[in-house]
Amino acid sequence: MMTSSRPITMSLIAAPQEEHPSRTSYVNLPVNEYIGSKVFAASGIPTQDVILGDYKGRSVVACRDFMYEMDPNLMLLHFKQLEISMPGGSSRSKARPDWEFVSQVLDEHDALEGIRARARHRFLQMTCVDALIGNFDRHANNWGFIADRRTADILDLAPVYDCGSSLSPSLSREGMRERVEDP
């Protein structure tokens, strides 16, 4: 039971796909979000608080809204917003990050001037941990910065969030077994 008065958002599991019985349709997502977030936190990387629970007999993960107790003049600014504001960025921005373009944005975007080295370091840390936990969904809308709502000036790095695609959440039990048994 959470004792804080801060609100949480709930991610409920999806029902299994009847037309694809070999897939579980993200039934594992709550556990994967929880484990992925805990691995990030154990790595010393600021991460969104999560708890694992049960709601009406189904697994859920509750994610604390890290923006809630911050100054209301602050906002979450996704990396995607920096990508599309780079010269030529709207045509180069993709669903999946392109290493060279992400590096260019991190190295050259004026908005990162005060935190450039920290932003690059965080991106490299995130990439390494995502590789470790098999998170295939770290696109440009799944990481970002804390910015001033009035000026859009970037003030800090946001904690890591959205780790639900870690550890192959759509694998069936049979698929998991095959992976574990494959040398």
Q: What is the pLDDT of residue 81?
A: 92
| Mean pLDDT across 23-50 | 85
Q: Is the pLDDT of residue 49 over 80?
A: yes
Model confidence at 15: pLDDT above 70: no
Structural domains of the chain sorted by starting position, each given as residue range(s) with its CATH number in brackets: 8-66 (3.30.200.120), 74-157 (1.10.1070.20)
Q: 108-158 pLDDT, tens per residue?
A: 999 999 999 999 999 999 999 999 998 988 999 999 999 999 999 999 999
pLDDT computed for residue 122 by the predictor? 97
Q: Measured between alpha carbons, how far is 123 from 38 in angstroms, rounded to an integer?
A: 18
Instruction: Say how far residue 33 (Cα) sits from the centre of its chain.
Output: 9
Strand pairing class (8-12; 154-157) = unpaired
Edge-first strand order for the sheet with 154-157 is: 74-78, 144-148, 154-157
pLDDT in tens, 70-113: 899 999 999 999 998 887 766 566 666 688 889 999 999 999 99
pLDDT band at 29 (very low <50, low <70, confident <90, very high): confident
Give the span between the Cα atoms of 175 and 17, in whole angstroms: 15
Helix, strand, coil distribution of the chain in percent, nearest 5: 35, 20, 45
Contact predicate 59/31, CB 8 Å: yes
Q: Please write the tens of the pLDDT for every residue from 166-182.
A: 887 777 778 878 888 98
State phi, psi for 32 to the nearest 5 degrees.
-65, -40
